[in-house]
Structures are given as structure tokens and as C-alpha cells.
Structure 1
Amino acid sequence: MAIVHKSKFADVDIPSVPITEFVLRRADELADRQAIEEVGSGRGYTFGALKQAIHALAGGLQAKGIGPGKTVAIMAPNLPEYAIVFHGVAVAGGTNTTINPTYTADEVRHQLQDSEAELLVTIGMFVETAQAAVEGTSVTEIVTMDGAEGTTPLTSLFGDPIEQVEIDPMEHVVVLPYSSGTTGLPKGVMLTHHNLVANIAQCEPVITYGDDEVAIAALPFFHIYGMQVLMNGLLANGVRVITMPRFDLQQALEAIQEQKVTRFFAVPPMVLAFAKHPLVAEYDLSSLRQVFSGAAPLGAELAEEAAARIGTEVVQGYGMSELSPVSHATPAGEYKPGTSGVTVPNTECRIVDADGEDQDVGGRGELWVRGPQVMKGYLNNDEATRSTIDEDGWLHTGDVAELDEDGHFSIVDRVKELIKFKGFQVPPAELEALLVSHPAIADAAVIGIPDEEAGELPKAFVVVAPGQELTEDDVKAFVAGKVANYKQLRLVEFIEEIPKSASGKILRRFLRDGQE
């Protein structure tokens, strides 16, 4: 029998409007206020100028033939112009696909071919990759935000402003982010205008903003977390956004101190830096009201260590590209270390174990989610869509979750990443959180190594903090005193750094590949 866990929040009203209209809903009221600017230089746009630029670019794109059924690829770091291109395409009725600029030409080409993009927008730094990647694709032109030689400068595309091209928000796919491809090639996630609008509206009662807020956007806009929670979500709430092309701890600390930043959105490696890096002590971070971590599990000890050091709450949320992305977040003042928060409004959850049995409070199983933020499906991949979203509309996340008596969910690990040791399931994330709580360990990752007798053996890869010394036995003994016998580390290897994706997820496949 299904046990459905509903949000404790009342349902919110989700307007049936295009995403840009929703994101710019306060643009006229806040016309003279700075909306988005580049870290360091301060170059940017007021809300009024941002709105004008978006509609002018939409006009220029329309004149180029970009509209419904056409896709524009954006392969760029976080810059103010990212928002202009994204929303210019949306207003013109087109579809965006957002590409990781650190991809190789082959990886970029896969996404360009799969999404059938006709225009690629990038910056000079990535033109060489772009030119190699577009061969054999539908891309007819490379546009650069900084007007690099041999490309079309973005400024030349601005035309006469147009109003939003008519689209059906429920059906029209406005963006195709690509899922991280932990299994197989990355898949295009079809998100509609309604998906994006719904998720921003759903987060409002949970993540609330004052009227004078400033946030650093160091998480990439090409990734759903940066795109929706930062770029779109912050602008929709009138927050001033400071874009960082890549995360640099010192630059971030300087910006927090000088610009009186109130919000910092992080992934666990950034929280790790806040907790352990000596630089942090040199800056005044008292303006921070909250650090919000997502994209990968954050250990309770690490969250508490960082919170104590920077003097503000460090909270967690949960989501995935296929959920536009948020299904769980932590209301201010309600953080329970190690949890990912409560279910956002208009959302239902189930926890289903390996035997197909629904679990209540305290039970573990795969998290299933249903709500207006669930994607339309995977592009050109009905089979993957059907295996992810069932006939009743439940999205099977692939993550193992547990619910407590207060309605807070904890993400234990990926179903696929659980280590199977003698029939027991060992969650790598739990061991990783434990390892980084050791003062001499800067970072860590755990994977299962195939073993004839046990099935898999838990193996830790450990990065030792500068100036510290550790032996394999030290690491094993530290863990041994804190977890059950079946979770003990059987192997330890010391490495220089843990391979991670741009969103901070551990790339376990690279660690596994080195074991063969």
C-alpha cells in the first residue's frame, strides 16, 4: 500500500506564464536597482536594463530565424550576459541547451547533435573547443559574449525589441540541461516554462528573501542548480546577483566582505573550504544570513563545523535536473544537520524499498517524487523516460532517502552507488562525511572494489590536509570506532585530489577506472 508523504506547506498558486515574464515580474518596480553584475569589475545591468536587453536580443534572434522548434546552445561561464542570452532565447520562443564549458570538443559535439542546436553562444576562451565541436552538427554560427575574433559578437545580435512569442507554458520546452551521465552518455532533460516557473514558486515559502539581499552566483548557470535556484530564482525575488565565472575562495571571501553578501549557494567542496581553509579567518563574513548547500550530500559534522566558523546557518536542499531542480529545502531556522530539509509545496513523495514496499518514518528506500516540477521527459529517449517516470507520474530519483518524525528527509546515497558488502548495503556518502570530519583529512571519496568473497569491499581515497601526516591504519582506526563492522574501510589509498564534476559531485567512475 502506497504511503504518500505530502508537503507540510499549503499548495502555492503557480501562474501559467512564460519563465521570463515570471523572472522579470519585479523588473519595472525595481528598474533602477542593480540586478546582476560581474564579480570584481561590477559590470552589470539594472533590472530595467536587463529587461530591455533581453527583449532586444529576442528581436535580433527572431530576425535570425530563432523561434519555436529552434535550439540555441550556451557554453559559457557565469557572466551577466548568460541571463540575457537564456531569456532572449526564451522570449523568442526558442529552446536553450546549456553546456559545461570545460567539456572536450567530443562531449560538446554529442550535446549539440542530440539537441540539434543551430547557434552556439560562448566566449573567446572556449572558441577553439567550439569550432572543433560544431563540425558535423546543425550549428551554423558561433556567437561570443566578448566578441572574439572570427566569431559573431553578441552585441551585433541585438535588434528591435519584441514581446514574448506565444508559447504553451505547459508544453513548450525552454531548456535542455543534460543530466550528468553517471551511467552512459548525458541525456537531455526536457524542462518546460511551467516546470521552471512552478519550481521557483514552490521554493518561495521555504527559501524566503528580504528586500535588500545580495547573493554570489559561483555555481555554474549551465547546471540546473545555478540556472534555477540562482540565476532565475534570485532575479525573480529581486535579489542582486554577483556572478563568478569560476569559484575562487579568496575572490568569494573578498566579495562577501565588500559587497555585504547575504546568501551563498554552495556545493559540499565549497562548504569544506569554509570549514577548513585558513583564509576564511581573515575576512568579515558577518553579512551572511545563510549558506545553502546542494547537488551532493553534505555531512552533518561538516555543516556544523562550517556554520560555527562563519557564524551563520549552513543548510541543505535536495533536487535533480529532472525536478527543475528542487523537491526538498530547509526553511530558515529549521536546519537539522545531515538532512536535506522538507518537501516543497505542491509536491508528494514516497520512499520505496528494494522489495517495492513503501516506507514510513525511519524506513529507508528509493525516493519517488511527484509534482509540477517533474520534467516532461528525456529528449529522444522514451525508454529512459519510461524507466524514470512511472505511469502514475512518480519520478524515481535513484537516491536512497529516509524520513524523520519532523518531516525532514535525509539522502543516504545513490541506489546505484551503494556498496554491497556481504549482503549489507554500505552508503559511501556516510563514510565520506565521517572521513572529512577528521582534522587531518582535507577531502575523501569511497567506492566499492569487487571482491570474490564479500561482493564489494569499501575503499577510501583520502586527500591529506597540508602539513598533516596519516597512515592507512590511522584512517581505518578512525572509522572503525564510529560505524558498524560491515561499514569498515577495508582499503585506503592516498591521492592528491578527488575528481569532481562542476557541480561538486564525486566522479566515482574515474576512481573505479583506476582500479582495473
Structure 2
Amino acid sequence: MATAKVISRNVKNLLVCKSYSVNVTVKHSVWTPENIVRSPFKDVEIPKRTLPEHIWENLERWSDKTALVCGTTNRSITYHQLYKYSKNFAAHLRTNFHITDGDVVCIMMTNTPEYAPAVIGALEAGAEVTTVNPIYTAHEVHKQLLLSNPKVLIGIPESVPILKEAMRLSNRNVPIITCNANNGLPADTVSFEELINDDNINKDVLKQVNKGFEDVILLPYSSGTTGLPKGVELTTKNIISNCVQQDTKEIRHYDDTTSSHQETVVAVMPFYHIYGIAIIMLHKLSVGAKLVTLPRFEPTSFLKTFEDHRISLLCTAPPLVLFLASYPGVTSKHLESVNRIVCGAAPLPKSDIDKVLSKVKQNAKFFQVYGLTETSPLATTFTQDYKKYTTVGFPIPNTELKVVDGDFKNLGPNQVGELLIRGPQVMKGYRNNQEATKNSITEDGWFRSGDLGSIDVDGSVTIADRLKELIKVKGYQVPPAELESILKEHPAVLDAGVIGIPDPRTGERPRAFVVLKDGLKAASKDIEEFVAERVAEYKRIKDVMFLDNLPKNPSGKLLRRVLKEKYC
């Protein structure tokens, strides 16, 4: 997740806003004399155990309830089956694939019920899990293979050819396990279903797993201000902390699972993303919810999910909220069972929130949330009845915030600067990148978000603008440096710069500025097709300008800000 409310350009206008009364149960002072903002909620105890142990803690209370069901095929897994499948898979990973503590398992799949036993099973085996966008090209995937060095790949039939080509490009040869191979198992791969259904595998091998509380378990890749992929090291402590932080009564987004009640969550936000895997999958499984998985967003199947499963909790991002608000086919009937809507990942204006709430029952609650991959991901959220939609709510328990100026001086209430976050959910660091880690986490544990924001006297946070230069296309992060690197691979291109420009359909889109080599020519279409062959669709460039040179500072760094000011 990234910024949940962005107001570009005139940041100072944010300071001239009316005061609001806030109904928050404050357990202690919010602002300290040092201008550090503490969470208004009582600290929670972080249990020292493995993440699978945390998920299974209350298993007996809902073992026969559905854990996951496919929204298109109705294929389902109960909690008891999820436990069994995860253990079986873990034992096979240790025994037959020789996974040892700290090895990496890479998953490249769309959202399916099998995603959960694949992740939890890998963690049970002592592995780290890295996830890949299933629409990535082989060119993109091979970069992550080089960086993460996985020992096993898990995919679906559609992704197997991409994984094989990515291995060729990265000069790797590791086994591939295939899920949902209903129309035949791809050559040279192993059936996931055979592994998870093998109850005869000796699970005593799992006693050899010895992972510490501070050891890494998730390794998502995030593009920071440089745009170059960085492996975010999230530990057991990070993920469990963020789970129990979300369980706090004042801010929780769910009701307890009982014999007569179970939250039903539509899981269309991708599991490869930290929002999908941590907040929707891992946390909601830890509290006994039912996840209805959808492999992709498609209006008909998405709305049918509401009709068939009576969705009660909607974890979403702005494009989905806009769809619910404006699509003619969405009626109050579809949303009649929805009790809560949680929105993160990108900006969302109040007018769109009001449109959606007009279609749901009067007592439905709307939560805006804020966080980043590096914060596991949740950092702030609304309370149960909070409606100040210009903010992203309050720091969650065990979390401190501060806003600093360019000299790193702490600022006071309603002053705009860079937002810093400190808490047990802050990542361990970036994999094999000490410099990036040092630049992102201070010696005393503050994570630099890269977002401009302010904090009100009540502790509520407003995100004002982005310091980072990532481009947001339909809520997806598009790193300019990645596209610039690909552009420079074109034989006619000498130099390139990429920025995001406003787009009424996608929020932003990439615009490329290209300098050609002397004596060589290339048409815009040639450049666009060259990039399209190497990146996912949402990253593609459809707007190219040719320049004689690019603006740079004395050290040679590209000044994207100048490109925006001069050409946009």
C-alpha cells in the first residue's frame, strides 16, 4: 500500500482546514514534547511464535468452516484441510525438494484457494516466500530470480512458460511445482495437488525447522525512490506484530468468528502484493474469516461473488471503489451484506466514498488505511466511526510517527514534512542492500516513508504528496528507473527519462523522454513496442517525446522534476 490521500502541488492549502471533533479512546498522550506522535491506542503484546502457529492458534474454533473458496469454480478448502495441506506440502519441501531454513520459495500465481497452503506450507518448511506478479514478462521475472535466488518455483499452467523462460534468462534451473493443472500437467513440473494430498509423507522432518522470531519469512520486492527492485525483508516479528495490531477493538475491521458468524471477504486484491498477502490472506485467516478468491477483476464474476457469497468485508483499492460507485450494474442489492469497506493502496476522494456508501446499508463503516510494503504493511487506520476522509486515520498500536523537515528537525501539529514511522512492523531491511537500508531506516529505528504529510493535534495523519517518484497506474507502482533502463537497451536510444502524467482513466501513465544516438532514427511506435515486449501491460509507455538532451544536476542525476515542470 502507498499513499491513501494525495493532494498534489499546493501542499500548504492542507494547513487551512476546519477542525473536527474526534471520538477516539485515547489511552495516553498523543504528542510528546519532542514532537513525536504516539498511537492513541494501548500497546498490544506481540506473541513470540511462528506465523503458522499464530494462524493455527484458534483452529479448533473454526476447523470445519470454509477458509478459502474460488469465486469462479466454487472449489473450497476448510480450515482443517488448510492445516493438513500446509503440513503435507511443508514436509515435501523439506524431504523431496531439500528446502532448508532460509531458502527462498517463489510463487507466481493468480489468486486461488491453493495460494494459502503454498505460502503457509513454505513457511512451515522454514523457507522465505517471495511473490511475483502473474502478469509479469519473463524479462521482469528473471530479474527477481537473480535477486532472490529461489530454490523452488510455484506457478499455474499459464505462468509455467514464463517461469521457464525466466530461468533460461537468469541461467537458473530449479524445480517448478504447478497448481490447478486440470487440463494436464506441464512438462517437467510437479503436481501441487499430489503433494498436498499425500498424507503418508513423514512430517517429523518439520521438527528440524528452527526459525527465529527475527528471521525473515516474506521477501516481497518493492521499488523505492531509485526505481530499482529491492527485496523487503519482513520477519516473523513484523508480520505477527501487524496482525495483532489490527486486532485492537477500536480499529478492527472484522467481527469475531463464532458458531453463527464468519466474515466473508472478497479476495480480488492480488496475493502477490503485500496488501493482499498480509492484510487479506494471512491476517484474515488468523481470525477465521472466509476468503472468496478471484483470479482477476472482471465485472460480471466480481458482482456474482457478492450475490453467491454475501460478502461482509470488502478490502479494496480506489479502482474498485470507483467501479462500485459508478458502474451502472452495481446496485444496493449487491452490497446489502457489506458491513465494512477498507480502502488502501492509492488516493481516494471523499465524493467517491460518499457514492459507494450511498449504495450500502446505513450502518456500514468505511476505513481508509495507510502503509507500505516496508511496514508489513499497515501503519495507520480509521477508528470504527471516524469520517474525516481527508486523513488516513491514526497510528495503530505500538506505532510512533513524526514529521521532519529537510534538516531532519521534528515538526509540530499540522506542519508538512516527510512522514517517519517507528514500530515492530518496520522491516528488517532491504536484501543485500545495506546502502538502501541505511538511507531508509535511521539508527534509532525510524523508517523514512518518502511521503509528505502532516499530523493533526488529535494524531490523525494527512498524506499531502509523494516525495517518491513512483508512477501510480490503476494503483500499481511503476518505477521510472526500470522503464528508463529498458529504454536505454533500444539500439537507437542514447538516454531516457520517464515521469508520470495525469490520466483520467488510470490515474497516471508513464511518459518517456528519449534522446537518440547521433545519426540514428526511431519512431515513437518503435520505442513503445520495444518496451511493451519487456513489461507488464500497466507499465507500457504510450507517450514518447524526443529531446536533444535531458536535464541533469552537476553529478549527472536526472531531474525528473524539471521534465514535469517544462513539458507537463
TM beyond 0.5: yes
* Equivalent residue number for residue 413 of structure 1: 465
**What secondary structure is seen at the aligned counterpart in 2 of 1:412?**
strand
Q: Tell me if the contact between 1:368 and 1:397 (Cα under 8 Å) persists in the aligned partners.
A: yes
Q: How does 1:54-453 map to 2 (within 5 A)?
A: 54-63=86-95, 64-135=97-168, 136-147=170-181, 148-150=185-187, 151-158=189-196, 159-162=201-204, 163=206, 165-180=208-223, 183-205=226-248, 206-210=251-255, 211=257, 212-281=262-331, 283-311=333-361, 312-417=364-469
> Counterparts of 1:188 and 1:19 in 2: how far apart (Å)?
20
Cα offset, 1:18, TM superposition: 0.7
Letter in 1 for 2:243: I
> Counterparts of 2:342 and 2:263 in 1: how far apart (Å)?
14
Question: Alignment identity in percent?
Answer: 34
> Counterparts of 1:361 and 1:511 in 2: how far apart (Å)?
42
**What secondary structure is seen at the aligned counterpart in 2 of 1:170?**
coil
> Counterparts of 2:140 and 2:86 in 1: how far apart (Å)?
29
Aligned CA distance change for structure 1 residues 460 and 209 (closer, same or farther; 3 Å): closer
Residues 63-112 of structure 1, C-alpha deviations (whole Å, 9 max, x = no match): 02112131110000111111101111111111111111111101101111
Cα offset, 1:514, TM superposition: 5.7
Cα offset, 1:463, TM superposition: 3.9
**What secondary structure is seen at the aligned counterpart in 2 of 1:407?**
coil
Structure 1: runs of 5+ lacking an equivalent: 419-427, 437-444, 448-456, 465-505
> Counterparts of 2:240 and 2:207 in 1: how far apart (Å)?
15
> Counterparts of 1:57 and 1:39 in 2: how far apart (Å)?
24
Letter in 1 for 2:174: T
Bigger drift between 357-366 and 302-311 goes to 302-311
> Counterparts of 1:141 and 1:55 in 2: how far apart (Å)?
20
Aligned CA distance change for structure 1 residues 137 and 196 (closer, same or farther; 3 Å): farther
Letter in 2 for 1:401: G
Which of these residues, 29, 49, 69, is aligned with residue 81 of structure 2?
49
Residues 136-173 of structure 1, C-alpha deviations (whole Å, 9 max, x = no match): 34441111112332121112334333546543443211
**What secondary structure is seen at the aligned counterpart in 2 of 1:187?**
strand
> Counterparts of 1:515 and 1:8 in 2: how far apart (Å)?
52
Q: Tell me if the contact between 2:50 and 2:213 (Cα under 8 Å) persists in the aligned partners.
A: no
**What secondary structure is seen at the aligned counterpart in 2 of 1:72?**
strand
Letter in 2 for 1:416: K
Aligned CA distance change for structure 1 residues 224 and 463 (closer, same or farther; 3 Å): closer
Aligned CA distance change for structure 1 residues 139 and 226 (closer, same or farther; 3 Å): farther
Bigger drift between 239-248 and 150-159 goes to 150-159
**What secondary structure is seen at the aligned counterpart in 2 of 1:318?**
strand
> Counterparts of 2:134 and 2:500 in 1: how far apart (Å)?
33
Cα offset, 1:338, TM superposition: 2.5
Cα offset, 1:402, TM superposition: 1.7
**What secondary structure is seen at the aligned counterpart in 1 of 2:114?**
helix
Aligned CA distance change for structure 1 residues 362 and 512 (closer, same or farther; 3 Å): farther
> Counterparts of 1:182 and 1:44 in 2: how far apart (Å)?
41
Cα offset, 1:193, TM superposition: 1.1
Residues 444-481 of structure 1, C-alpha deviations (whole Å, 9 max, x = no match): x9x9xxxxxxxxx99643349xxxxxxxxxxxxxxxxx
**What secondary structure is seen at the aligned counterpart in 2 of 1:387?**
helix
Letter in 1 for 2:226: T
Q: Tell me if the contact between 1:304 and 1:337 (Cα under 8 Å) persists in the aligned partners.
A: no
> Counterparts of 2:395 and 2:59 in 1: how far apart (Å)?
29
> Counterparts of 2:407 and 2:38 in 1: how far apart (Å)?
22
Bigger drift between 75-84 and 351-360 goes to 351-360
> Counterparts of 2:193 and 2:307 in 1: how far apart (Å)?
33
Cα offset, 1:381, TM superposition: 0.6
Letter in 2 for 1:197: I
Aligned CA distance change for structure 1 residues 513 and 10 (closer, same or farther; 3 Å): farther
Letter in 2 for 1:360: G
* Equivalent residue number for residue 476 of structure 1: none
> Counterparts of 2:156 and 2:48 in 1: how far apart (Å)?
34
Aligned CA distance change for structure 1 residues 403 and 276 (closer, same or farther; 3 Å): same
**What secondary structure is seen at the aligned counterpart in 2 of 1:399?**
strand
> Counterparts of 1:304 and 1:354 in 2: how far apart (Å)?
36
| Alignment RMSD (CA, Å) | 3.0
Cα offset, 1:415, TM superposition: 1.1
> Counterparts of 2:544 and 2:79 in 1: how far apart (Å)?
48
Residues 431-452 of structure 1, C-alpha deviations (whole Å, 9 max, x = no match): x9xxx9xxxxxxxx9x9xxxxx
> Counterparts of 2:406 and 2:546 in 1: how far apart (Å)?
28
Residues 212-248 of structure 1, C-alpha deviations (whole Å, 9 max, x = no match): 2110111111110000100001000111111111122
Cα offset, 1:30, TM superposition: 1.1
> Counterparts of 1:356 and 1:253 in 2: how far apart (Å)?
48
Cα offset, 1:182, TM superposition: 5.9
Aligned CA distance change for structure 1 residues 5 and 40 (closer, same or farther; 3 Å): same
Q: Kindly indicate whether structure 1 or structure 2 has the higher relative contact order, using CA contacts under 8 Å at least 6 residues apart.
A: 2
Q: Tell me if the contact between 1:118 and 1:138 (Cα under 8 Å) persists in the aligned partners.
A: no
**What secondary structure is seen at the aligned counterpart in 2 of 1:245?**
coil
* Equivalent residue number for residue 422 of structure 1: none
Aligned CA distance change for structure 1 residues 343 and 106 (closer, same or farther; 3 Å): same
Aligned CA distance change for structure 1 residues 165 and 252 (closer, same or farther; 3 Å): farther
Cα offset, 1:329, TM superposition: 1.2
> Counterparts of 2:113 and 2:500 in 1: how far apart (Å)?
44
**What secondary structure is seen at the aligned counterpart in 1 of 2:203?**
coil
> Counterparts of 1:203 and 1:164 in 2: how far apart (Å)?
30
Cα offset, 1:7, TM superposition: 0.3
Aligned CA distance change for structure 1 residues 244 and 164 (closer, same or farther; 3 Å): farther
Q: State the number of aligned residues.
A: 447
Letter in 2 for 1:183: T
Cα offset, 1:125, TM superposition: 0.9
**What secondary structure is seen at the aligned counterpart in 2 of 1:16?**
coil
Q: Tell me if the contact between 2:335 and 2:359 (Cα under 8 Å) persists in the aligned partners.
A: no
**What secondary structure is seen at the aligned counterpart in 2 of 1:281?**
coil
> Counterparts of 1:88 and 1:459 in 2: how far apart (Å)?
42
Aligned CA distance change for structure 1 residues 21 and 302 (closer, same or farther; 3 Å): same
1:7 aligns to 2:39 (yes or no): yes
Bigger drift between 278-287 and 211-220 goes to 278-287
> Counterparts of 1:515 and 1:197 in 2: how far apart (Å)?
49
Q: Tell me if the contact between 1:207 and 1:329 (Cα under 8 Å) persists in the aligned partners.
A: no
Letter in 2 for 1:117: P
